[in-house]
Amino acid sequence: MSDKDQQDKNTHFGFQTVAESEKAKRVADVFHSVAARYDLMNDLMSGGIHRLWKRFTIELSGVRPGNKVLDIAGGTGDLTRKFSKLVGPEGEVVLADINDSMLKVGRDRLLDLGVAGNVRFVQADAEALPFPDNHFDCITIAFGLRNVTHKDRAIASMLRVLKPGGRLLVLEFSKPGNKMLSKAYDQYSFRLLPLMGKLVTNDSESYRYLAESIRMHPDQETLKAMMVEAGFARVTYHNMTGGVVALHRGIKP
């Protein structure tokens, strides 16, 4: 493929079709806009249930003292904070995010909470992680994979930096199995979510994109197949809240 063809290749930004080179900037603009009130909006959007989804992710991670953990798209640091306690002073947690506004909010929040000694902050692209091969015991990516342009590249990059026997956990919005729930979820996503975004952050369009990006994300079985194709073993997923959210887990052989 020529450089021009590569530059002209298109992808999805929500329901819009945009050039791949444009998507990263537009996603960045979304998170620059919402970073300051990201935690508040998460609580409002999920009724606080996102904390239960993340707690289950922690429980399934199998993280122990001394482990090295990578929290990709770690945002404001909810998972990083918990992992920091689990790995202890001999372990390490890397909070990575491609968006410098989100990374700054997460760093400031964790420092304010006294979480610092075993945590590093790295601005990184999930498609090309700047870490050595076979380095981490566990990788998590919570509500971030759907924003990645080449999800297959990101999954392969995560596999590379995991140690053999290491675990990848992908927590992401997914596809409800019940038709009635799916219809209600659509109404909520496309009517109430942008309204809340307008009222709380004065930014309805960013939250409209977030709703659209959820619909464009692969469903549970498709994402499972992508992880298997990348080389992960024993890939399973757990539906939560009727499939509104799914937690995928895979092991590096």
Query: Using one digit for the tens of pLDDT, what is the confidence trace for 35-88?
Result: 556 666 667 667 789 999 999 999 999 999 999 999 999 988 999 999 999 999
Is residue 76 a known part of a binding site?
A: yes
Interval 183-241: pLDDT, tens = 888 888 778 777 877 777 677 777 787 778 888 899 999 999 999 999 999 999 999 99
Which range has the worst mean pLDDT, 9-18, 26-35, 170-179?
Answer: 26-35
- Amino acid occupying residue 154: A
The full set of domain ranges for the chain reads 34-176+211-251
| β-pair partners for 10 | 19
- Report the Cα–Cα distance between both ends of the chain, in Å, rounded: 32
**CATH architecture, range 34-176+211-251:** 3-Layer(aba) Sandwich (3.40)
Is residue 97 a known part of a binding site?
A: yes
Residue 105 scores a pLDDT above 80: yes
Q: pTM value?
A: 0.86
Neighbours of 126 (CB within 10 A): 25
Confidence of residue 29 (pLDDT cuts 50, 70, 90): low
Is residue 8 a known part of a binding site?
A: no
Length of the chain: 253
Confidence of residue 1 (pLDDT cuts 50, 70, 90): very low
Contact 164, 134 (CB under 8 A): yes
Residue among 164, 170, 149 nearest 233 (CA): 164
Is residue 211 a known part of a binding site?
A: no
